[in-house]
Amino acid sequence: MTRDDEAPTLTADEQLLVLPDDLRHELKEPMGPIETDAERLLETVDGPVIAIGDVVTYHLLQAGHRPAVALVDGRTKRTAVDEEIRDAVTEGASIEVRNPPAELGAPVVRALRRALAADDPTTILVDGEEDLVALPAIVAAPENASVVYGQPDKGMVHVTVTDDHRAEMRDLLERFEGDTERFWELLEG
């Protein structure tokens, strides 16, 4: 894992989308209801769970639920998670990729597709940042899947995937800078 001063970079052919500064404020608003209790959140789940973030993944594991897909980076709020969380969420990590902060690169998009298609729970260990992967996860996840990500100092945001959510995320991703055409080709096959 790299430190903040050693942010990973991607080659030109790996780089896809970059979050423009004018979209950052839109991503601060939660995309679904916020829950602080993982067991209560899981009571409303009716499909596979895609967990974005170390602390979210840890709370789901502590509640006895291994997400179908988990994306972790060893950090929370830009600092390293403690050893207990890191060990719990990285145990059995099966895919390792680089993804720079504020970007969605080809390696993480390919890993997400692979994980969603896998029969067994899959953990993707990201060198860099995994936060933005919630957006393509909502687009690519099956109907009624749950995408759960952390809202700093608030709790876990639970998005039940619907066509409306997919359309909203598509619109948002279209406003990113970069090669959107190649992004969609990789995400949707």
Answer yes or no: is 131 a known binding residue. no
Q: 129-149 in b/e burial notation, b at 16+ Cβ within 10 A?
A: bbbbbbbbbbbbbeeebbbbb
Are 50 and 69 within 8 A, CB to CB?
A: yes
Q: Is residue 130 a known part of a binding site?
A: yes
Q: Is 56 annotated as a binding residue?
A: yes
Q: Which candidate, 18, 151, 24, 70, places its Cα nearest to that of 7?
A: 18
54 is in an annotated binding site: yes
112-127 residues labelled b (16+ CB within 10 A) or e (exposed): bbebbeeeebbbbbbb
Residue 144 DSSP SS3: coil
The whole-angstrom distance between residue 108's C-alpha and the CA centroid of its chain comes to 9
Cα separation, 51 vs 175, in Å, equals 24
Residues annotated within the binding site for GTP are 54-56, 73, 130, 153
Residues annotated within the binding site are 54-56, 73, 130, 153
